[in-house]
Amino acid sequence: MKRILVVGAGGQIGSELTTELRKRYGTENVVASDKRRPSEEIAETGPFELLDCTDRDAVKRVVQRYKVDTIYHLAALLSAVGEKNPLLAWNVNMGCLLNVLEVAKENNCAVFFPSSIGAFGPNTPKDNTPQDTIQRPNTIYGITKVAGELLCDYYHQKFGVDTRGVRFPGLISYVALPGGGTTDYAVEIYYEALKHGKYTCYLKPDTRMDMMYMPDAIKAAIDIMEADGRKLIHRNAFNITAMSFSPVEIAQEIKKHIPDFVIEYDIDPVRQAIADSWPNRIDDSAARTEWGWEPEYDLESMTTDMIEKLSSKLSIKL
């Protein structure tokens, strides 16, 4: 029987992952935790603990109290916010992961760690970016993701901790907002298109990056932890993607539903430089071969679903 702890359950991934894990493994078997109280849906429909994961003893207490055997560690500062406070990003992203891995080692837990396309850098091949390639990111976020991938490999090889993970692309959802990433425009654009018919984008029109709709990201996080460990050659940091597009292309797709939608551009040099240092499209064949990864949504089907769900959430009639 799985007993799961979600660290960062109130965040963009955590709020949907927690709900899905509870459906699959039973509400009582999925403990949500966050340093702030999340939505009622997360905090009041099942076990919830206020948890600051920079405090290793606190992580240990929760793991032991609920006899946790699997930890989804999602708490982290994203790329753009990390550039505003690099020291905090290092301390939170590395400190919390180290705490989770140490507690996992002592309490025999499996660990899911989300890496990112941010783990690549300006001299990584941009198209069909291989699973194993140059990783010299130039953001503090990317540096913590590469170090995190290596640390997870190390805890597996040295201590036998069952660490697994994927490199997520930009994630798009209508439930919780992302917290300060470079790919956030691809979420904001839907809100602004519906609310105001207009969006001012902080990236250039042709800036191409990998993206994924949240239901596919949730499926990936669950499937990799369910996969047969003997078949995993990489274990950590599998490239996964579902689509690759630029601001101009997502705007064109939105226009099919909202014909008067207008996109304008006001470039933020910091986020533009980060986006330019990331791949255009990564190669996810290792994930497909080793654990059967296959996304369901492309730009067209995601846009149809986003507009339907978001217009009902915002009570906007089209």
Catalytic residues: 141
Q: With helix as H, strand as E and coil as C, how does 104-147 read?
A: HHHHCCEEEEEEEHHHCCCCCCCEEECCCCCCCCCCHHHHHHHH
97, exposed or middle or buried, with CB in 10 Å at 0-12, 13-18, 19+? buried
- Cβ distance to ligand SER smaller for residue 33 or 116: 116
Name which of 81 and 258 has its Cβ closer to ligand SER. 81
User: Tokens in use for 198?
Assistant: 């207009």
> Minimal CA–CA distance to 213: which of 169, 171, 183, 168?
171
Residues within the interface to ligand SER (CB under 6 A): 78-79, 116-118, 141, 168, 170, 181-183
Give the shortest CB-141-to-ligand SER separation in angstroms: 6
- Please, what is the minimum distance in Å from the beta carbon of residue 186 to ligand SER? 9
Closest-by-Cβ residue to ligand SER is 181
Query: Closest approach of Cβ 57 to ligand SER, in Å?
Result: 29
CB of 164 to ligand SER, least distance (A): 17
Tokens 């300060």 correspond to what residue? 180
Query: Going by C-beta distance under 8 Å and a sequence separation of 6 or more, which residues neighbour residue 46?
Result: 18, 22, 27, 28, 30, 31, 32
Give the sheet arrangement for strand 238-239, strand by strand.
Answer: 48-50, 30-34, 4-7, 70-73, 110-116, 163-168, 238-239
